[in-house]
Structure 1
Amino acid sequence: MSLVKLVDPVAAEELGRVHFIGIGGAGMSGIARILLKRGVRVSGSDARSTDQVSELRELGATVHIGHAASHIRDVDTVVVSTAIRDSNPELGEALKQGLRIIPRAAALASVMAGRTGVAVAGTHGKTTTASMLTVALQKCGADPSYCVGGQLVTTGLGADEGSGEVFIAEADESDGSFLMLAPDIAVVTNVEADHLDNYGDPRAVHDSFARFAERIGSLLIACADDPGAAELADVARARGLKVVTYGETGDYRVRDVRPDGFGITFTIEGMGEVRLAVPGAHNALNATAVVAVAVALGLPFEEIRDGLATFTGAKRRFEAKGEAGGVAVFDSYAHHPTELAADLRAARDVVASYSGSGRVIAVFQPHLYSRTRFFADEFGAALGLADEAIVLDVYGAREDPEPGVSGAMVAGRVRLPESQVVYAPDRASVPALVAGRARGGDIVLTMGAGDVTELGPQIIAELSAG
């Protein structure tokens, strides 16, 4: 997959009648939902029916299951997801008719236009930070519109139209499409090597973020603790952009982070104490970024602090799936070594708060052959933070298999005793495997961007049966 072709977005009111090819995807369905709430006529197609498709139909969208050229009728603009191939018959028909064809990010830029745009970018943490910001602003009465990469636990939605002036968007760097956004304010949580199948080398990732910074209207909020984000802050300052930093160093300084039940409590120096209902020191940084945005928007710290306390997470971001036999099961979208390490440290904090003697069992499914090849050593090191690691085979997603690249590459690099590491290429065997190893007080954490998320309920069922 190559980087998407960048196009100049148009105002939402100029899109006319909009058809989404791949409307059921998380990002596509969110934009479609917002357009429907604004009274825009929306149609679309997808390979299968989903809950998102049903919700869009209830809002008035015409959604076809399956793709056919005949679906392109009475349409002005066609939005295409990155999963759509050039051979798609609807795309071919749109080209034949000479219709405006835009990628998802350009459609997102269109619905953001005219609002105070806040984009949250970064190699990790952007979904949680954008979700946290959304919930906190909602509790402050700001009622923002939002389009993020995961579903909020509070609303069950990943996107919605609000009545306020602020529009919060997750800015996706994976294919370079965040360069179509032009936010007033942007948060950059970190800049690390990832998506090297697209970018080729780490320097290209940094260069892409530097180009993103050029599109920010008034303020960059960057994490001073992350070398890549700190470098970006220096580049942005040199270009005359206002920059605010946060972290253990910076303008907003995080102090005294400590586990507090399932959540954490910490202090922002000179402002006060914040309590979160989600675990992990990394979430103290995410919340501090939210405070920096809120202050820039003119909201008082006390209100945003109270709003942050109500944030209970986003789907697949250390999401509690249930408990059986004294074993708690959580699910995480973590698919990069840094993300695995952050979640496993958070899991240790949770164990310490509850049982004190429990173990952390990691169930990891590598995502993409290229990412597995690039980061096998780093994945192994991160999984060494668990007490036991079960490694599935690679979830290829859009990629074809690569000779010699499998979950065994990762399992062989985990820095734990051999008896505490299992390579499990048969996904169906994993629930029973976990149930046979887990004991009361343990935490099981399923991790990965693929179908590993389906294992949580199955593990709970096996634990219950035992």
Structure 2
Amino acid sequence: MTHPIAPLESLGRVHFIGIGGVGMSAIARIMVARGVPVSGTDAKDLPVMHDLATAGARIAVGYDSGNLGDAQTVVAGSAIRADNPELSAARQAGLPVLHRSEALAATMDGHRVVTIAGTHGKSTTTSMVAVLLKEAGLDPSFAIGANVPALGVNADHGSSDIFVAEADESDGSFLNYRPLIAVVTNVEADHLDHYGTAEAVFASFDNFAALLPPHGLLLACADDAGARALAERTAAKGTTRVLTYGTGDDADIRLGDGGPGDVSVAVDGASYTLNLQVPGRHNALNAAAAFAVALELGVAPVTAATALGHFTGASRRFELKGQGRGVRVYDDYAHHPTEVRAALSAARSVAGGNKVHVLFQPHLFSRTREFAAEFASALDAADTALVLDIYPAREDPIPGVTSSLIADRLSQGRLVSGDEAVEAIVAAAGEGDIVLTVGAGDVTAYGPVIVEALGG
């Protein structure tokens, strides 16, 4: 899916179909800040659309071919169907139609680009890098696939020549970027609805690393087998520099993780304490990656370590939704077995000796089919695991694929309907316990309802 990068000034007036999406709104926000005439539509009236309208974009709710107006370039979100009236009208008029990644690549042109890729941890690590660099005074532009409380927004046009962006591998579109520094947090089989095989996933990351120039840098997590293998293959080619980060003695940036309050990074023989506000080994590794990026961009190690203490998390990444009756309720976007395992590990570290109760919603029929046993194994780390019906997103049902493929394998869990989910969770949770809503679908809406049911 690699395409030439179009200069931003060549796009003219840009119309976004699906502008309310977190990734689309991020690009639109940056374009507006850079003086590009922007218009956009979405099926629903979302808060971010009001923000964009205030900033100067022309916004409409609902899809209609007339909304294109005098647009010269169209950007279509991945969820937009081929028969969308605006997309059909754009193609009929012969207008260039860009994938979201191509539009983002245009906004990156001319910058020192830092991209964060990986099967898991992209949004959090990208957020950490952006917060760290802003705190260090470098003022980067950034585009993140989640809202970040410490930043106030998920995208911004900064005054420096640094651009930090999340690089999504789900459809191969991360090959449209031209990074100077590329972080790879992990490489696992996922998005097999697009790739077909695990081997194809690994090959795409090889192609991603190959985009780096000779003076560029691949930063890979040595604690992850897939990322470590990628680092070794890339280093063997000798086409760009490679550094690793992780807990092993052979990592170039070594993470010391003794649990909450005892996290440090060591580089070039010196150790620096990280006062992280987010729990879990996965977040400590993400912080080590952000620290390494900052050093590569010239930030002093002590400054970088201090700045990481200002990161309070990204939206839907172990996000506290509230509490009641002494029960804390968190929400997490985890939708792959490794992510679910990491979220539950973080919950355990926060719960201490108390119990952890999870309400999980599988995302996609294809992912459920591929990883049902792995999801059940991950969820068994909870004291109570309740499973909702599959959130289909872009997919049609697959015969024989239901949430029962997961629920029937659980030792401490069962399938629940939406109506009984809140009651069951509230009945199970006691004082000091942690409740975690997990999944990439609309399960996030249950968190506030659970808090209310707990009297919070």
Bin for the TM-score computed over the shorter chain: over 0.9
**2:413 corresponds to which residue?**
421
Secondary structure, aligned partner of 1:271? strand
The count of corresponding residues between Structure 1 and Structure 2 is 449
Deviation per CA, 1:240-278, whole angstroms, max 9, x where unpaired? 210010001310111243123xxx633436332111000
**1:104 corresponds to which residue?**
100
**1:404 corresponds to which residue?**
400
Q: Judge conservation of contact 1:21–1:79 (CA < 8 Å) in 2.
A: yes
Secondary structure, aligned partner of 1:276? coil
Tell me by how many angstroms 1:304 deviates. Answer: 0.8
Secondary structure, aligned partner of 2:97? strand
**1:366 corresponds to which residue?**
362
- Residue 4 of structure 2: which of 2, 8, 28 is its match? 8
**1:223 corresponds to which residue?**
221
1:105-254 mapped onto 2 (5 Å cutoff): 105-217=101-213, 218-239=216-237, 240-249=239-248, 250-254=251-255
| Residue ranges of structure 2 left out of the alignment (5+ in a row) | none
- Residue 452 of structure 1: which of 419, 443, 451 is its match? 443
- Residue 454 of structure 2: which of 447, 457, 463 is its match? 463
CA distance in structure 2 between the aligned counterparts of 1:138 and 1:36, rounded to whole angstroms? 21
Q: Judge conservation of contact 2:256–2:263 (CA < 8 Å) in 1.
A: no
Deviation larger for 301-310 or 85-94: 85-94
1:69-80 mapped onto 2 (5 Å cutoff): 69-80=65-76
1:265-414 mapped onto 2 (5 Å cutoff): 265-268=263-266, 270-352=270-352, 357-414=353-410
Tell me by how many angstroms 1:6 deviates. Answer: 4.1
Q: Judge conservation of contact 1:188–1:222 (CA < 8 Å) in 2.
A: yes
CA distance in structure 1 between the aligned counterparts of 2:395 and 2:184, rounded to whole angstroms? 28
CA distance in structure 1 between the aligned counterparts of 2:85 and 2:437, rounded to whole angstroms? 37
CA distance in structure 1 between the aligned counterparts of 2:258 and 2:288, rounded to whole angstroms? 12
CA distance in structure 2 between the aligned counterparts of 1:77 and 1:365, rounded to whole angstroms? 37
Q: Judge conservation of contact 2:18–2:41 (CA < 8 Å) in 1.
A: yes
CA distance in structure 1 between the aligned counterparts of 2:386 and 2:149, rounded to whole angstroms? 28
Q: Judge conservation of contact 2:44–2:62 (CA < 8 Å) in 1.
A: yes
**1:32 corresponds to which residue?**
28
Tell me by how many angstroms 1:73 deviates. Answer: 2.1
CA distance in structure 1 between the aligned counterparts of 2:363 and 2:266, rounded to whole angstroms? 36
Tell me by how many angstroms 1:93 deviates. Answer: 1.5
Tell me by how many angstroms 1:330 deviates. Answer: 0.2
CA distance in structure 2 between the aligned counterparts of 1:422 and 1:266, rounded to whole angstroms? 40
TM-score (norm 1): 0.94
Q: Judge conservation of contact 1:43–1:61 (CA < 8 Å) in 2.
A: yes
Q: Judge conservation of contact 2:265–2:288 (CA < 8 Å) in 1.
A: no
Q: Judge conservation of contact 1:257–1:284 (CA < 8 Å) in 2.
A: no
**2:52 corresponds to which residue?**
56
Q: Judge conservation of contact 1:257–1:267 (CA < 8 Å) in 2.
A: no
Q: Judge conservation of contact 1:268–1:274 (CA < 8 Å) in 2.
A: no
Q: Between the two proteins, what is the percent identity of the paired residues? A: 50
Q: CA RMSD in A?
A: 1.2
TM-score (norm 2): 0.96
Q: Judge conservation of contact 2:257–2:284 (CA < 8 Å) in 1.
A: no
Deviation per CA, 1:97-141, whole angstroms, max 9, x where unpaired? 221211100000000111110000000001000001111111101
Tell me by how many angstroms 1:44 deviates. Answer: 1.1
Deviation larger for 212-221 or 231-240: 231-240
Secondary structure, aligned partner of 1:422? strand
CA distance in structure 1 between the aligned counterparts of 2:257 and 2:309, rounded to whole angstroms? 17
Amino acid at match of 1:230: R
Secondary structure, aligned partner of 2:259? strand
Q: Judge conservation of contact 2:128–2:308 (CA < 8 Å) in 1.
A: yes
